[in-house]
Structure 1
Amino acid sequence: MTATASAVPSRTAVVTGASSGIGAATARGLAAAGYRVVLTARRADRIEALAGRINEAGHHAEAYPLDVTDRAAVDAFARTLPAVDVLVNNAGGALGADPVASGDPGEWRQMYETNVIGTLNLTQALLPALTDSGDGTVVVLSSTAGHATYEGGAGYVAAKHAQHVLAETLRLEIVASPVRVIEVAPGLVKTDEFALTRFHGDAEKAAGVYAGVAEPLTAEDVAETITWAVTRPSHVNIDLLVVRPRAQASNSKLHRER
């Protein structure tokens, strides 16, 4: 890990998938809000560089390379943390846009492993520390895809719906504990990698997702939403917050300028 030599804040937030996009923006937002932020992702160089920039800005960040689907690695990571107050389950993503009839089972499995099992792994591993904090918060970054289907999206929709159900069920099960469960479900967000990854590096298809949309959401828009929800008074729980660009009325209704 890398960290500053100055005094470290008393409250710690763990952000998964922090190497780019919404995860990186959320790490910056929570650090600016006064949290010691622990950045996790598979790309060590990315999170170490981001941690360095956050620390140079006078905040506090550490980098810990981690694959959220590797339970042994997740458990080892949990043992390195003396305390945790916030967990942001952001690691995930979409692969492919094929119909059910021709969808790749391997891609479906990978989406489920990352979005759902990854969230389960981190939540299970850190829930005792979050409970011990006396004021813990679990954030699940799902998607509007988890709340409404669309053609060509069944694999991603299924994974995000499972993530939504995980958050909803956990909230029921731990209601007597001092831990909030917040779900943030973004709509169309334009980041450098999401659509490009989904279409296996096909830049033309990735650009088509946002074509004609004057102002899709940005990673910073979603990060500000997460930071706002996390920093509400501890008795206030934002169960589910759906955030879309103004041009998007639903998953299937999007205004594109000609």
Structure 2
Amino acid sequence: MRLDDERESVNVEDRRGGGFVGGRGATIGIGTIVVAFAASYFFGIDPRVILEGASALQGAQQQAQPAQRQGAPSNEPGVVFTRKVLGNIERTWTNVFTTQLHAQYEPPKLVMFTNATPTACGTGQTAMGPFYCPADRKVYIDLGFYDELRKRFGAGGDFAQAYVIAHEVGHHVQNLLGISDKVDAARRRSSEARSNALSVRMELQADCFAGVWANNAQRANQRLMEPGDFEQGLKAAAAIGDDRLQQQGQGYVVPESFTHGTSEQRVYWLRRGMESGEVSACDTFAANAH
């Protein structure tokens, strides 16, 4: 990606190196957040679901205040990259909301953190991977995930990293459009299998929305994408399919436990968004959806 001419977003909060000012009880252990298998390890996890059962700690989290870095914005490459990608995503979705949805886009905040940080959805931890919290409308990311994406999944490159951010912002778009609330309500009335199926639809739609961003960003700036960029994103989507992660992690797959979609599904919906550039093309909840 050519980001030299991109403006950095100001909607970024840097909590790295801060930790909590609340003492004990402000974090939740790995066992509590239920990262027993890699399928719940990365991308788009709704913390309200993952942190279910941890309500006893919520009071401590609400009182804990994250320490923030002071002074000028960091010029570290990963930070600059994240700010520039988010800035482009903001401008692109502002235009898409105006032209396609005839509505006003409200950008999310992005929080950079290390290890653990309080959120309106509970304690966020590095082990959860990047995630979006609907309650505070913030995307959370430990920048070390970029290295994990490259080393563990062989999905390196600027666009693969940008896809991570765009996917989480896709969940924000769902929140703005009222999709998140409707799906959450339906999940509460559903069996576990049906609830998981709805989660898959949510994740696939966020993938499609990431593709919508990529399409419109490229149309607005023909120099933004370089040869091979889109392929990087598709490779990343394939790498984090539920079936592939479960096969790698436990040697077999349990389809009824899928919460994010198969590699084939994730690639399909990301590509669909990339090719169409239309929000209307991302109805993953249609009866005949892939």
Higher strand proportion = 1
**Same fold per superposition (TM over 0.5):** no
Structure of higher RCO (CA pairs closer than 8 Å, 6+ residues apart): 2
Query: TM-score w.r.t. structure 2 length?
Result: 0.29
The structure richer in helix per residue is 2
